[in-house]
Structure 1
Amino acid sequence: MTARLTRASAGVRPPAPVRAVHLGLGAFHRAHQAAYTMADPDWGVAAYTFRNTELPRTLTEQDGLFSLQVRDDGDTEAVIVDAISRAHPGCDSEQWLADLASPEVALLTLTITEAGYRVSGDPDGTAIGRVLAGLRGRYRAGGAPIALVPCDNLPGNGGVLREAIRTAAAREDAGFRAWAEDQVSFVDTVVDRITPATTEQDLATAAQLTGFEDRAPVVTEPFSEWLLAGDFPLGRPAWEEAGARFVDDLAAYEQRKLWFLNGAHTLLAYAGLALGCATVDEAVRHPVLARLTALWWDVASRHASLRAQELADYRQRLLLRFSSRGVRHNLLQIASDGSQKIPARILPVLLAERAAQRMPDAPVAALAGWLIHLRENPVTDPCADELVPLARSADAVRAVLSAVDSSLAEDRELVAAVGDHVQRLREATGRIA
């Protein structure tokens, strides 16, 4: 009988002291930040979910351990990650407040998705509200400084988090707001590692590779990147030992990642689903989508800041990563939260092209695919209640474009082009729009 994965059964060190807290416990955090933190044995992570209780319970039973399966086309290797010292469900607010108040805790990392940074109305119950509550408790407990490290795909994500906290704290007392300005550091990051959802087969593979029963394995690709810019007033793990890079200015790298990788993923997700594809590797091999992806990278290159050769090399690496059958990244997973992703990933390039009086095929196809997705597929999006009826209305193209950027709806040529591309995508599958 296969032994359950625990620190005792695997002969793994005891949990490290908790010096970092994470909000948004899921597969990406465990494939990325937790894997980097494992390089420094003096730092343990207390990781919190939102509403999920099963994953924290499973990780607690496994003493925070899980196997990370790194898959290439031909081979799969597994490593046991031991950086998580404690895992907690979102309802464990008392421990959350205690951890954030502790002067031993030096930083908070976040993977809360792009939608998690929206602040409207009462922030209580939101990710930003939870962070604000933790900071308020830290201030009252003595006010030790702390670094906040967002790891979501947003341009200037540290600045976005800073503004979200400022907005949410508008009614707090002046002393707390002054402390938050002076003692809370907001670190900008660029993160990259393709991490699909775990399947039942991955559990069986974990047992084969590790010899242990692991009920919380994570699958990922060999490539990983983490770029950071900002201050850590109470120190940080030696993430550079695992390959993290600390730079002065992230803007060009953020742009490269958001446009070339995330933008291509968004294009493949929406146009790919419309054409009947299910995964990234399947989509990037489809002749129509392969052409659109190349066109997208061509048009994005016209507006990118990095040197042409560096962008060309990055494109080649992306094509290899997208084509790998070792990691099956589901398009429906990527298609979530389009109202948050499209403005950051697609619209900057599209608007620059329209300002130059050009009508680029690839971003138009992405918008057309999104419209079809809103009409026909299960939609996970904070604006779904608004967008789905608009996508099914008589003036669908104009209405949906207006919901993300009013200037798009006023561009008659663009509205017509998106409508035409909806028809083209539907005809490509033998359906009528």
Structure 2
Amino acid sequence: MSRTVRPVPKAPVRIVHLGLGAFHRSHQAWYTQHAGDAPDWGIAAFTGRRPDAAASLSGQDGLYTVVERGDEGDTFEVVGSIVEAVDGADIGRLAGLIAAPGTAVVTLTITEAAYGLRADGRLDPKDPGVADDLQQLKAGPDGMPTTPVGRLVNALAARQAAGAGPLAVVCCDNLSHNGTVARNAVVGMAEAWDPRLAAWIDANVSFVSTSVDRITPRTTDADVEAVTAACGYRDNSPVVAEPFRNWVLSGDFPAGRPRWEDAGAVFVDDIEPYENRKLWLLNGAHSLLAYLGQLRGHTTVAEALADPACLAAVERFWDEAEANLSGAAADGADLQIPAYRVQLLARFRNARIAHHLTQIAMDGSTKLRMRAVPVLAAEREAGRTGEGAAGMIAAWVAFCGAATQEGQAIQDPLAGDIAAACALPGPDRVRALVALLNEPLSQDGGTVELVATLAAGFVRQEAQA
């Protein structure tokens, strides 16, 4: 690809995104391209830990191909809404863009583990990344914060100093009340650094909650070759996604926003029912399949769901989740949960989307707090066993135990604590692992016993017929 393939001039930067990756490019960037006023809304996207994605996209002038992979075949579309791709370490450019009066929206896909919060939802000053960034921020202009939240706080200070006015921060990570999560992290870090900045953020920055949905596996070399063969050009940065997409948003945009509703986004007053439906039914099933599926020898979601034992575990969990989901949103919209379940099964069975279980299994301690714990707690409070939700936790416990025993690294922000827990004897091990997810549940003897019993039945084995 080259600059000459752009049929129209670049849109001006009005959105800054943190967390440049495949999902952002298949979701928020796609919606922005399809907004009715897309020519007015360009995205400057910053990478997280590594600069690779920015370097690759910059070499293509920000252009890339979205491959929609359905049962009937592939379709290809060049997306050009990202007009600038930047190494996340370039905090000067980030501060300059966020301080610009034309910037109206900041979107985030920085993963659930990146917010640096304690279990009570407040900023954790003992988190290594948080502690280091606070030192960097206090160092003044020479400071180099490294976490997305630290970099954003630094940039918001530049906006305050420039008098550029209000804007919206839109969290697109898989978290309950994710706008509140983002606010707690950003305001918490600002308060610990400069209370006057925290007060300015409170008065000028809105935090929008969203529910995002589009299965987007990692791009493979075969996907790159498929684009070359089908389209006749070389794209080093395509993304592959399922045809389905969904975006529900709730919150204010004081400086304006694209007309994302033209592309199918939905704006609601109360997002919680939509969040829980997606977090529990889709993401919860993904986590369950990630751990149980790998224990049973599978590598992708489609493979795991074809295993009757995995499917039965998902259905048990879904029954419990559905029992604790409101059937309708506050605005009266029917959530259509039975139909949603049927649709999910069809999406999961799309074998042409190779959604790898190892990818989903990362950061389990963070994810299960939102996907399994609320359902299990609600079931126990209602006097039921919660076996379906306990089964998800048990699969994670067994997976962590097997990985530790085999000397495999566990990709998790609490990897050290998980390893220490796995070194304990049976019941103590289970209790310690449950405590990493939720301390009160770890004090419930019945819950710990149930998880231990279920985990004992989940052992590493060959794939089942």
Q: TM-score, normalised by structure 1?
A: 0.95
Q: Establish whether residue 241 from structure 1 lines up as the match of residue 262 from structure 2.
A: yes
Partner of 1:27: 22
Distance 1:325 1:429 in 2: 20
Q: Does 1:202 align with 2:238?
A: no
Q: Could you tell me which amino acid in structure 2 is paired with residue 42 of structure 1? A: D
Matched, 1:224 2:250: no
Segments of structure 2 that go 5 or more residues without pairing to the other structure are 117-122, 126-130, 134-144, 329-333
Q: What is the match of residue 214 of structure 2?
A: 193
C-alpha separation in 2, matches of 1:388 and 1:15? 49
Change (3 A) 1:15 1:398: same
Relative distance call for 1:364 and 1:63 in structure 2 (3 A) is same
Which of residues 374, 395, 399 in structure 2 aligns to 1:373?
A: 399
> 1:303-333 deviations in whole A, cap 9, x for unaligned?
1012598110100110100111121101110
Corresponding pairs, count:
426
Contact 1:7 1:14 in 2 (8 A): no
Whether the 8 Å contact between 2:297 and 2:460 is mirrored in structure 1 is no
- Kept in 1, the 8 Å contact 2:372–2:390? The answer is no
Q: Which residue is equivalent to 1:403? A: 436
Measure the CA separation in 2 of the matches of 1:189 and 1:172. Answer: 28
Identity of aligned residues (%): 42
1:386 aligns with 2:417: yes
* 1:183 has 2:204 as partner: yes
Which SS does the other structure have where 2:279 is aligned? helix
Corresponding residue number in structure 2 for 1:41: 39
Could you tell me which residue of structure 1 aligns to residue 104 of structure 2? Answer: 106
In structure 1, C-alpha distance between the alignment counterparts of 2:235 and 2:423, rounded to whole Å: 44
Higher alpha-carbon deviation: 157-166 or 187-196: 157-166
Matches within 5 A, 1:60-99: 60-99=58-97
Q: 1:385 to 1:309 in 2, by over 3 A?
A: closer
Amino acid at match of 1:314: Y
Using the TM superposition, name which of 85-94 and 412-421 deviates more.
412-421
For the residues of structure 1 that align with 2:52 and 2:396, how far apart are their CA atoms?
32
Query: 2:12 matched to 1:17?
Result: yes
Deviation at 1:427, TM superposition (A): 7.6
Aligned mates of 2:449, 2:124 — CA distance in 1 = 33
2:298 to 262, 277, 301: 277
Alignment check: 8 A CA contact 1:113 1:153 kept? yes
> CA shift at 1:301, angstroms?
1.0
8 Å contact from structure 1 (residues 109, 149) kept in 2: yes
Secondary structure of 1:191's match? strand
Q: CA RMSD in A?
A: 1.7
1:263-342 equivalent positions in 2, closer than 5 A: 263-307=284-328, 310-342=336-368
**Residue aligned with 2:457, SS:** helix
Bigger shift: residues 166-175 or 83-92: 166-175
Q: Does 1:213 align with 2:234?
A: yes
2:55 maps to 57
* TM-score for both structures, normalised by structure 2: 0.88
Task: Render the CA deviation track for 1:3-32: whole Å, top value 9, x for unaligned.
Answer: xx1231x34323211111000000000000
Where do 4+ consecutive residues of structure 1 move more than 6 Å?
Answer: none
Matched position secondary structure for 2:458? helix
- Contact 1:279–1:328 (Cα < 8 Å) also in 2: yes
Corresponding letter in the other structure for 1:212 = Y
Equivalent position SS for 1:63: coil
Summarize the alignment of residues 393-432 of structure 1 with structure 2, pairs less than 5 Å apart.
393-394=424-425, 395-426=428-459
Residue 395 of structure 2 aligns with an amino acid whose one-letter code is: G
Which consecutive residues of structure 1, in runs of 5 or more, have no partner in the other structure? none
**Structure 2 CA distance, aligned partners of 1:220 and 1:98?**
32
Structure 1 residues 135 and 417: alpha-carbon distance in aligned structure 2, compared to 1, 3 A threshold: same
Counterpart pick for 2:379 among 348, 353, 357: 353
